Structure 1
Amino acid sequence: MSIFRSEEMTLSQIFLQSESAYTIVSELGELGAVQFRDLNPDVNAFQRKFVNEVRRCDEMERTLRFLNKEIEKSELWTQEPLEYPDAPNPQEMIDLENKFEQLESEMREINANQERLNRNYLELMELKQILSKTSTFFDEAGSHQADFDGLGGDDHSALLGDEGSAHSGQLSFVAGVILRERVPGFERLLWRACRGNVFLRHTEIEYPMEDPVTGDVVHKCVFIIFFQGDQLRSRVKKICEGYRATLYPCPDSPAERREMAMGVATRIEDLKTVLGQTQDHRCRVLQTVSKSLRSWEVKVKKIKAIYHTLNLCNFDLTTKCLIGECWCPVSDLDSIRLAIRRGTERSGSSVPSVLNRIPAEESPPTFFRTNKFTKGFQNIVEAYGIANYREANPALFVVITFPFLFAIMFGDCGHGLIMALFALTLILKEKTLLKNDLGDMFATIFAGRYVIFLMGLFSMYTGLIYNDCFSKSFDVFGSRWILHFTESDYKRLNASGKVWQLNPIENYYNGSNSQISHSQAPYPFGMDPIWQETLSENAITFTNTFKMKMSVIIGVIHMTFGIFLSLTNHLFFKNYISIIGEFIPQLLFLMSLFGYLCILILYKWTLDVTHHAPSLLITLINMFLKIMSSPCSNDGDPNNTRCLYSPSVQIHLQRFLVFMIVICVPWMLLTKPLYLRWKNKKKMREYRQSPYPDTVGITESEGEEDSEIIHHDDDDEDGRGKDDKKDDFQFSEIFVHQAIHTIEFCLGCISHTASYLRLWALSLAHAELSNVLWKMVMNTVMTTSFLSGVPLRVVGLFFGFSFWAILTVAILLIMEGLSAFLHTLRLHWVEFQSKFYGGDGYKFAPFSFTAVLEGEDEV
């Protein structure tokens, strides 16, 4: 079963004929079952055989990005292919290059023509605005002519300056267009540079204009500058050039301006016609491109991926054959050979390619076959680390344990229903959502839709166990506590300050001598609904006790299951010394300490409250502190704790368990190192006594532990060394490693068991937060006095329920759900997987066109 243990992998060598190598790699990419190894690690990317082909693909991708940008700029829709096309033949690559070059050249020519036409159109529109708005400027200019003729003094109403005083005559002018935001600075610089000897008038163009280069919308102003003299003319033109103002010729005669305006209007109409035809031609070209753009992108990516893979191979001495090495699952060897045969037939080659299995020195990659349901749980496990090759995969069990532990902390039937419905919507709409760009955050949620769905279902189950739905209870079977007293009796008891509790066995009376009847039969399913009532002031104490002990029991079961999974690893790898030196003492240590505690918890639950059972915490502490004396008794000795069951049995059993706990520590610490030391000495003795030392060594069938025994120097070709070589076995390193492992497990048993108390803490926090939210919002709305009328009560309930629903989703579902999710991750990664999971492997990454197109494998 590949989900429990990774697929059996093999290292294979492929001999690819040069004429069929491209098509064979193409078939293997469609199959997606082969991970090629780089046989040229010391060769950089620019010195490989097919680097020119990869560069050509890069150039084609650049062209396609340019075309795609133009399509997006024109707001056209790109047609998605119904199915991805196959990788084209190498001859088709040349045709694609030529087609892309022609399209790019045509589009650049169209863009250049359109930009030139837009620039001409903009200039004509600006000239039209100048001709229409300068009439008033010229009317005002006549009133200033006298001022220019009679300059003098420092009167700023007359235009002063050295240039103005030296020349007299008619005014000169320049007209143009400038950006609106540059007008204030432009005006100040003109005044200062020309010493006030200019007259500037400007007005804003009513509608914005489009920049022909950037396409941005800009606001511009028409201006006209009156001055006198050639020296001021050159100065004004330089300032206009510095502020990037556009100057246009403007006649000073009204008749000439009217005639020029008519010519401009005619040219604008002609230019609009040409612009419309150019835009239609551009749209037709882009529409044709948009129908095939996605198919072209797929083809180019596949071609590039094929040549990138071929660069990982080596040529033989005759350069007629490529040699590649790859990891592949053993179960897929027949499919791989069939793909190689298809590729050979497609290329028309008469020489078949060969696939041979070869021995491997390095550890193979880890490969688990998953589907859309198990992939999310596998990703949760692999976020911690990739499993070692053929190591037990916890994802098979995480499918159940992860949503279950989450539900213990998130146990609410209503909240779980909302979560399950949300995930169910994602599942039903998954085909539609997969076609859209979901974004990073929502894509992560969508990838875990099945995880969220199970979390919701399990939360509904635990919510029914807790009898909790939005902090309210279900009274389906009727409470087993039947109370015969009034609300006034309850208030009077509270006012007296007495602690008042019901007993399921004995009958108490409430002060008015009315008996409290009850039913001793337990509630059929889950908790009795009375614990959610306002009369149950000890509800938190009851639920705390129940959930805390339940968390310990579930935690011990979860860790024990992890230890048994380590047994499956030891048996699979035939590591029998680890079974004796690690699995057995670890199991005895955990069961003698916390397994015994779980048994006491279950036994105490069977006792009635009149038994006056002792505290389990004190019992466990006395089990160690009073090992030499009597840890408990039932004879009334105040120095001893009351025994939970038969004193003689409890005392002797607890002494035996403490003895087992103490024995397990040196058992874990010494057994494996001493065995490996004895094994090493035995091998060395056989090596020295053998007349043929090269034949004495470690075989593959001797198990995993033998690989740690002898490490010889490998200066010689045989790797065995000579008789004078020393043993490289380091007993101290193995002992220190085992000591660290032993200390980590012993301390981890205590800390990990305490860590499972987060199941109790978060469950209590979620329930209390839900209860507080209901009381502060809904109860407040329903009991407010000024909402006495029916209309006011309806409005209040509407807004109150809306506010409560928003807080429920934001705090209890999103924030609390994320918190419980992270705590569940920790329980699996640290407390559970540390018992058997190494997580030091590397993932199988086959050459697959699907992964390339989805962006998972960048080439």
Structure 2
Amino acid sequence: MGSLFRSEEMTLCQLFLQSEAAYACVSELGELGLVQFRDLNPDVNAFQRKFVNEVRRCDEMERKLRYLEKEIKKDGIPMLDTGESPEAPQPREMIDLEATFEKLENELREVNQNAEALKRNFLELTELKHILRKTQVFFDEAAPAIHVPNKSRNRYQQMADSNREEERVNLLGEEGIRAGGAGAQGQNLKLGFVAGVILRERLPAFERMLWRACRGNVFLRQAMIESPLEDPANGDKVYKSVFIIFFQGDQLKTRVKKICEGFRATLYPCPEAPTDRREMAMGVMTRIEDLNTVLGQTQDHRHRVLVAAAKNLKNWFVKVRKIKAIYHTLNLFNLDVTQKCLIAECWVPLLDIETIQIALRRGTERSGSSVPPILNRMETFEDPPTYNRTNKFTSAFQALINAYGVASYREMNPAPYTIITFPFLFAVMFGDLGHGAIMALFGLWMVLKEKPLAAKKTDNEIWNIFFGGRYIIFLMGVFSMYTGFVYNDIFSKSLNVFGSTWSINYNTSTVMTNKALQLNPGTNDYSGTPYPIGLDPVWQIAGNKIIFLNAYKMKISIIFGVIHMLFGVFVGLFNHRYFKNKLSIYCEFIPQVIFLVFLFFYMTLMMFIKWTSYSASSDTVRYSAGCAPSILITFINMVLFKPSAPVGECDPFMFAGQSGLQKFLVVVALLCVPWMLLAKPIMIMRSRKEVAHQPMAPYSNENGDAEGGLNQHNAAQPPVNQQGGTGGGHGHENEEMSEIFIHQGIHTIEYVLGSVSHTASYLRLWALSLAHAQLAEVLWNMVLKNGLQQEGWIGGIALWAIFGFWAILTVGILVLMEGLSAFLHTLRLHWVEFQSKFYAGLGYAFQPFSFEVILDASSSSSED
């Protein structure tokens, strides 16, 4: 848990591995996930590295596995997933895996090619079957050649409907001649024909092209094939139509065939004699039955191959990806001059060195090498990566912090404090016992069902965000239930747990008829005993509820904000002390605290003084409710040194000596501004003059980081540059004095103006809390209240329907939309108002070589 408050101590190590043991050792380190390797060959092309051939072999194996996976998913075969992660196979096992994948791929491709050829043959026979069936009807209808003009007259009628007058006149002349010739010659008119199939959507354009290109001297008949046919190339279902085209002469025949070829229509031989057509149809049916049998056997064989592959596919993917990751990592290493030893540099957590050495020895034993690996610690001036150990509970809060910026090395981590402050500030804005219960139950359900829900591994991004933040959602709901209980607000109604401390001294008729009546806390209307916890339920029906809650929630927002910011400043003190940065303590922390306490914390103290000193039941006029001064006006007059005169018996000051104390506080707070602005640059300038005769080298003096923040925490820990005031970043040893003055000026202006704007920013706690309460009240009065006013069985049905509508609006608007709004505002308060007081966030995350991380990333990318 200690590393959650401050990142783990990291050290840079040099690792020497024998070539024959390197693979097994890296495999053990990948299972451990505690080592981040550095690339020692940054200028070497990826295709020129030592293990590039092994990586290519892994890519090829992964390609074959993806092909198998695609075929398995196409057939809807479930893939066995035991949830276990097999160890990375030995390099000699790669040959066996390659042979297995090669055999499976070749066998599956051969089966698919044969199946496609069979399906193509089956499609052709099926189309021929339909042609023989449909054309029989065509021949029966068009048997006498003299009927051609009659059929043509149908075409003339269609052309007349489409207003093609010129073509119609020409064709009428031609067909009239042909008709007359046919009548004279009788049955001697001989027509040729072609038959085929075409995609149904191409048929209208095909028909128009035939008509125009052949000048109407062709006769087309078509009929739809009712059942869809399977495309052997991609398995899609397509709809086709059978057609037959009658024509006369070889010239028209050539023209018709070219048009059919252009529209990708398939032509089939069709005998003229009915007996020949029947004989061919019987042969086609026999061949179709045989093909069905062969296709069924082929599909069964393909299914058996895929089922056998599906049992091992997940494990194969894991093995191949682990092998690939190991060789990618080995490509980061250097070879020594003897070409027998691999040299690596890596960042490791200081506390895990022994665990890493055990893993290295285990890998050496697995490989059969007799030479043990060597792990040497190195000293460096490079900033180490930031590593915060987390678990499933703290990881979500750490992710919120890292979204703003990764902490600088050994900088104070805001995540442990955020575990409490984040859901609490959210609940101040979302305070409703009912809505908080809905959110808490949803979060609790995800927490209790996290194992089966995590095993589903969906690619729905919104669900993954909710599930990843399940503990945050649960805590936000629980804290909202608490604040809702304090506000005494549940779905815009109140809970009368302890009974009201207010009483009504009027009779019922007076109360019901006179709406101008008010309860006076200075009379017997109020018992004088405060409500045990939270707000009295009578405020929920009071006419001045908004006025009362306005003042109450506005003040607690300022109080929480000032305390939150003060806490952030004090967290910065821990940074300065850890990095032994005394200069930042004296020149930044102390004036910052004085400025914030003397102005804004004093304002919060005045709120408590006002609450305790003034009362409606006070016997003294000066301390009555009407004489209570405005905190805002008092604070403005204090900052502007504006005198305040008494009004009648009312004193603008709450206690004796307040005027002098306020002037003293403002003067001291204003003196803190030049203190923050000039003290640190002047001290740095003086320190540089004192050491001007010494060589410029990193050192640690009694002032810690006065020269630039270089100090060595211990003999084993590499020195780390830190910037005073933020606890992270770079030092000032190479900066010009002008840049230091400018930087300090920006830092001072940001803090002084930020103290004002950040304090006002916490008023969002008040604004969103009031908005949430009012939305809930509006939803109750405009929706659910209407259902409660109905009586009888009709009222029951109406209430059922209206309640459903009210519940949908409550969950959709008040829980989801308002919850998201409050979440974003809380996130801003932590990122800007709180973390700006101490958090630099200039580090980079520790990214160890971990099989678990690599496999998770690969599985998510494959699902996408």
Q: TM-score, normalised by structure 2?
A: 0.90
What residue in structure 1 maps to residue 296 of structure 2? 276
How does 1:309-708 map onto structure 2 within 5 Å?
309-438=329-458, 439-486=460-507, 488-490=509-511, 492-494=513-515, 501-504=518-521, 506-507=522-523, 517-533=525-541, 536-606=542-612, 607-609=614-616, 610=618, 611=623, 612-626=627-641, 631-632=643-644, 634=646, 636=648, 642-646=652-656, 649-685=657-693, 687=694, 698-699=699-700, 703-707=704-708
Query: Shift of residue 159 of structure 1?
Result: 4.0
From the superposition, tell whether residues 709 and 855 of structure 1 become closer, same or farther in structure 2 (CA, over 3 Å).
Answer: closer
Distance in structure 2 (CA, Å) of the matches to 1:285 and 1:157 = 67
Query: Shift of residue 855 of structure 1?
Result: 0.2
From the superposition, tell whether residues 851 and 147 of structure 1 become closer, same or farther in structure 2 (CA, over 3 Å).
Answer: closer
Contact between 1:35 and 1:847, CA under 8 Å: does it hold in 2?
yes
Distance in structure 2 (CA, Å) of the matches to 1:256 and 1:651 = 120
Distance in structure 1 (CA, Å) of the matches to 2:122 and 2:240 = 15
What residue in structure 2 maps to residue 74 of structure 1? 75
From the superposition, tell whether residues 855 and 697 of structure 1 become closer, same or farther in structure 2 (CA, over 3 Å).
Answer: closer
Contact between 1:154 and 1:160, CA under 8 Å: does it hold in 2?
no
Q: Deviations over 1:651-704 (max 9, x none)?
A: 22112101211111111111111111111111113x2xxxxx58x762488623
Question: Which amino acid in the other structure matches residue 744 of structure 2?
Answer: Q
Distance in structure 2 (CA, Å) of the matches to 1:59 and 1:382 = 36
How does 1:765-844 map onto structure 2 within 5 Å?
765-783=771-789, 787-788=790-791, 790-844=792-846
From the superposition, tell whether residues 763 and 164 of structure 1 become closer, same or farther in structure 2 (CA, over 3 Å).
Answer: farther
Q: Runs of 5+ in structure 1 lacking a partner?
A: 508-515, 688-692, 711-726
Distance in structure 2 (CA, Å) of the matches to 1:425 and 1:522 = 38
From the superposition, tell whether residues 130 and 149 of structure 1 become closer, same or farther in structure 2 (CA, over 3 Å).
Answer: closer
Question: Which amino acid in the other structure matches residue 174 of structure 1?
Answer: V
Q: Deviations over 1:355-388 (max 9, x none)?
A: 1000112100000000000000000111000000
Secondary structure (helix, strand or coil) at the match of 2:312 reads helix
Query: Shift of residue 82 of structure 1?
Result: 4.0
Query: Shift of residue 706 of structure 1?
Result: 2.2
Does residue 87 in structure 1 map to residue 88 in structure 2?
A: yes
Contact between 1:22 and 1:306, CA under 8 Å: does it hold in 2?
yes
Query: Shift of residue 96 of structure 1?
Result: 0.8
Contact between 1:202 and 1:224, CA under 8 Å: does it hold in 2?
yes
From the superposition, tell whether residues 635 and 131 of structure 1 become closer, same or farther in structure 2 (CA, over 3 Å).
Answer: closer
Distance in structure 2 (CA, Å) of the matches to 1:663 and 1:437 = 59
Query: Shift of residue 219 of structure 1?
Result: 0.8
Secondary structure (helix, strand or coil) at the match of 1:12 reads strand
Identity score, percent: 59
From the superposition, tell whether residues 701 and 148 of structure 1 become closer, same or farther in structure 2 (CA, over 3 Å).
Answer: farther
How does 1:53-132 map onto structure 2 within 5 Å?
53-132=54-133
Secondary structure (helix, strand or coil) at the match of 1:684 reads coil
From the superposition, tell whether residues 157 and 702 of structure 1 become closer, same or farther in structure 2 (CA, over 3 Å).
Answer: farther
Of 730-739 and 801-810, deviating more is: 730-739
What residue in structure 2 maps to residue 851 of structure 1? 853
Q: Return the match for 1:236 from 225, 237, 256.
A: 256
Query: Shift of residue 764 of structure 1?
Result: 0.3
Distance in structure 1 (CA, Å) of the matches to 2:81 and 2:364 = 31
From the superposition, tell whether residues 149 and 412 of structure 1 become closer, same or farther in structure 2 (CA, over 3 Å).
Answer: closer
Query: Shift of residue 171 of structure 1?
Result: 1.1
Distance in structure 2 (CA, Å) of the matches to 1:575 and 1:4 = 19
Contact between 2:4 and 2:388, CA under 8 Å: does it hold in 1?
yes
Question: Which amino acid in the other structure matches residue 847 of structure 1?
Answer: F
Contact between 2:583 and 2:703, CA under 8 Å: does it hold in 1?
no
Q: Return the match for 1:222 from 224, 230, 242.
A: 242
Secondary structure (helix, strand or coil) at the match of 2:23 reads helix
Distance in structure 2 (CA, Å) of the matches to 1:762 and 1:697 = 51
Distance in structure 1 (CA, Å) of the matches to 2:148 and 2:481 = 93
From the superposition, tell whether residues 621 and 82 of structure 1 become closer, same or farther in structure 2 (CA, over 3 Å).
Answer: closer
Q: Deviations over 1:811-830 (max 9, x none)?
A: 00010000000000000000
Query: Shift of residue 234 of structure 1?
Result: 1.1
From the superposition, tell whether residues 315 and 238 of structure 1 become closer, same or farther in structure 2 (CA, over 3 Å).
Answer: same
Query: Shift of residue 709 of structure 1?
Result: 9.6
From the superposition, tell whether residues 361 and 172 of structure 1 become closer, same or farther in structure 2 (CA, over 3 Å).
Answer: same
Secondary structure (helix, strand or coil) at the match of 1:479 reads coil
Distance in structure 1 (CA, Å) of the matches to 2:326 and 2:133 = 65
Question: Which amino acid in the other structure matches residue 519 of structure 2?
Answer: L
What residue in structure 1 maps to residue 156 of structure 2? none
Contact between 1:78 and 1:294, CA under 8 Å: does it hold in 2?
yes
Distance in structure 1 (CA, Å) of the matches to 2:376 and 2:25 = 15
Question: Which amino acid in the other structure matches residue 17 of structure 2?
Answer: L
Of 697-706 and 321-330, deviating more is: 697-706
Query: Shift of residue 810 of structure 1?
Result: 0.6
Q: Deviations over 1:153-186 (max 9, x none)?
A: 9553974799999997411111111111111111
Contact between 1:163 and 1:229, CA under 8 Å: does it hold in 2?
no
From the superposition, tell whether residues 49 and 660 of structure 1 become closer, same or farther in structure 2 (CA, over 3 Å).
Answer: same
Query: Shift of residue 760 of structure 1?
Result: 0.3
Distance in structure 2 (CA, Å) of the matches to 1:150 and 1:481 = 100
Secondary structure (helix, strand or coil) at the match of 2:376 reads strand
The CA RMSD over aligned residues, in Å, is 2.4
From the superposition, tell whether residues 112 and 671 of structure 1 become closer, same or farther in structure 2 (CA, over 3 Å).
Answer: same
What residue in structure 1 maps to residue 192 of structure 2? 172
Contact between 2:443 and 2:473, CA under 8 Å: does it hold in 1?
yes
From the superposition, tell whether residues 291 and 697 of structure 1 become closer, same or farther in structure 2 (CA, over 3 Å).
Answer: closer
From the superposition, tell whether residues 163 and 580 of structure 1 become closer, same or farther in structure 2 (CA, over 3 Å).
Answer: farther
Query: Shift of residue 637 of structure 1?
Result: 9.0
Query: Shift of residue 735 of structure 1?
Result: 1.2
Query: Shift of residue 295 of structure 1?
Result: 0.4
Does residue 250 in structure 1 map to residue 270 in structure 2?
A: yes
Distance in structure 1 (CA, Å) of the matches to 2:170 and 2:628 = 111
Contact between 1:676 and 1:708, CA under 8 Å: does it hold in 2?
no
Distance in structure 2 (CA, Å) of the matches to 1:379 and 1:24 = 31
Count of matched residue positions in the alignment of Structure 1 and Structure 2: 810
From the superposition, tell whether residues 636 and 626 of structure 1 become closer, same or farther in structure 2 (CA, over 3 Å).
Answer: farther
Distance in structure 1 (CA, Å) of the matches to 2:181 and 2:563 = 106
